[in-house]
């Protein structure tokens, strides 16, 4: 219940600040450009939207994590009963935002082609989710409480994204993009593996953040 309450508070605060508009509108605008002409039938168009989702989900995560000033966050932590509910609520808000982006990215090519098998749509959703979780992990790693200054947050997030997004053999982003671009390979096995890697990366970052917060308390 504490996590749900924290997530509701953080979501309301984020909506009030309107800081979420920048990453989400950027994603929508670039998707509109990518899919404005005949992008082809899924899953090929999803390779581009997956690659785009990675930095956008990282950007959204830093926005959510840094939406409150440090003094206000201290008050929120006390009211929530500790750092755990706030951290969990932050993840919930990030994932909710990611899901909105994912549904948009998967749905537009499907609507454009008229139809797609449910299994293929599920594959697209999971492929995007794995990348979004990895992007969320990067964003939380480069935001408060680990990185305090906005300039350093931007530099660190950009550096990590660039270093990990454009390597075809590096999971979960590079391998997902390559796999969707060559759909004759085994899509499901690799997609589920990359989803697990993305979730594992997020869990590892959350453990690091919680350990740092506990040590500072």
Dump pLDDT digits (tens) for 182-191. Answer: 866 788 999 9
- What value does the mean pLDDT take over residues 77-89? 92
How far apart CA 109 and CA 43 sit, in angstroms, is: 9
> Mean per-residue pLDDT for 46-69?
96
Mean pLDDT of 33-37: 86
95-105: pLDDT as tens digits: 999 999 999 99
**pLDDT per position as a tens digit, 148-170:** 999 999 999 999 999 999 889 99
| Domain residue ranges of the chain, discontinuous segments joined by + | 2-216
What is the tens place of the pLDDT at every residue in 109-152?
888 877 789 999 999 999 999 999 999 999 999 999 999 999 99
Q: What is the pLDDT of residue 183?
A: 66
| In the chain, alpha helices (H) | 2-17, 21-34, 46-65, 70-80, 83-113, 118-141, 150-165, 173-181, 187-216
- Confidence band, pLDDT 50/70/90 cuts, at residue 40: confident
Query: What per-residue confidence (pLDDT) applies to 85?
Result: 94
pLDDT at 84 over 80: yes
Distance between CA atoms of residues 107 and 142, nearest Å: 30
Q: Is the peptide bond before 172 cis (omega within 30 degrees of 0)?
A: yes
In this predicted structure, which of 52-56, 76-80, 170-174 has the lowest mean pLDDT?
A: 76-80
């Amino acid at each position: 219940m504490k996590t749900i309450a924290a997530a509701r508070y953080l979501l309301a605060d984020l909506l009030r600040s309107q800081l979420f508009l920048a990453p989400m509108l950027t994603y929508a605008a670039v998707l509109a450009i990518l899919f404005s002409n005949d992008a082809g039938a899924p899953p090929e168009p999803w390779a581009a939207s997956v690659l785009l989702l990675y930095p956008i989900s990282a950007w959204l995560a830093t926005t959510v994590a840094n939406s409150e000033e440090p003094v206000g966050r201290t008050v929120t932590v006390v009211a929530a009963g500790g750092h755990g509910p706030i951290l969990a609520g932050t993840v919930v808000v990030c994932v909710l935002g990611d899901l909105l982006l994912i549904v948009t990215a998967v749905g537009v090519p499907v609507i454009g082609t008229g139809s797609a098998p449910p299994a293929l749509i599920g594959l697209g959703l999971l492929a995007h989710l794995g990348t979004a979780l990895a992007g969320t992990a990067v964003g939380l790693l480069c935001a408060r409480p680990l990185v305090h200054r906005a300039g350093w947050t931007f530099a660190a997030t950009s550096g990590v994204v660039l270093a990990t997004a454009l390597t075809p053999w590096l999971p979960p982003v590079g391998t997902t993009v390559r796999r969707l671009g060559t759909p004759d390979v085994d899509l499901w096995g690799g997609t589920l593996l990359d989803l697990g890697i993305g979730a594992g990366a997020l869990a590892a970052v959350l453990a690091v953040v919680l350990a740092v917060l506990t040590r500072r308390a």
